[in-house]
Structure 1
């Protein structure tokens, strides 16, 4: 004679499944909120006909002029952004106080552009999404 077969404890399994499903829904619903508190990241979407061959990010203070670039806060991306590709990176910057984050890039035709990707930050957290086309550069800031 074998041991009697025990039934599954449904009183434990069903509530556990419900808690897991609710947890997943809450996590995915608030994922963008949690992103605001992570280290600052930039996503470049190169929709132009040209490769981006140089990308720099840095900090500016005051009136955002190039003369106010904060000392020691420059990050150079070590790879190109080919035409039609997307690149995400987290620039390693150091900020004391408050400032703005800029992005400067050069395409393979030698054309350089300078754009503010986070107009105001104290914590270097959040995201910026930069879309580069042949005609314009658009920036969506989600930074703190």
Structure 2
């Protein structure tokens, strides 16, 4: 083999080995950025009714934020509430549908820094939640 073949082949092997060895770190990067970002909640409205009012807040405090846009049935909206506090707490989301029924859900069971994310799916009779908050 001559130098023109060996150098690109060695570079390609080094690159592939680096990607293979660094894959676990690359997979963890989204979680790292999620930890440092402001808290967001993605609301999937899979009910038959429009969501006309959404309030988020800290369960043990007086800080709260209101999302003023309506969430039509079948739509998904990402909300970044303007919340801040010092210490430990939980984040709630209170919503009212077009029938004037109000429900409250804890969208982050424990937080110290109001960061991370949650996904809330609202159905006619129940809700489903995935949370990854810090």
**TM-score band, normalised by shorter chain:** 0.7 to 0.9
Which of 94, 97, 103 lines up with 2:93 in the alignment? 103
TM-score computed with the length of structure 1 as normaliser: 0.75
Residue equivalent to 1:19? 18
Q: Which has the higher helix share?
A: 2
Offset at residue 126 of structure 1 (A): 1.9
Superposed displacement of residue 128, structure 1? 1.8
Which segments of 5 or more consecutive residues in structure 2 lack a partner in the other structure?
A: none
What is the CA deviation profile of residues 47-95 of structure 1, one whole-angstrom value per residue up to 9, with x for unaligned ones?
100111211111121xxxxxxx42xx22222322221122222212111
For structure 1, the residue ranges without an aligned partner over 5 or more in a row are: 1-5, 62-68
RMSD: 2.2
Structure 2 length normalisation: TM-score? Answer: 0.80
**Match of residue 107 from structure 2:** 117
Shift of residue 142, structure 1, vs aligned partner? 2.3
Given candidates 66, 73, 84, the residue that maps to 1:76 is 66
Aligned length: 129
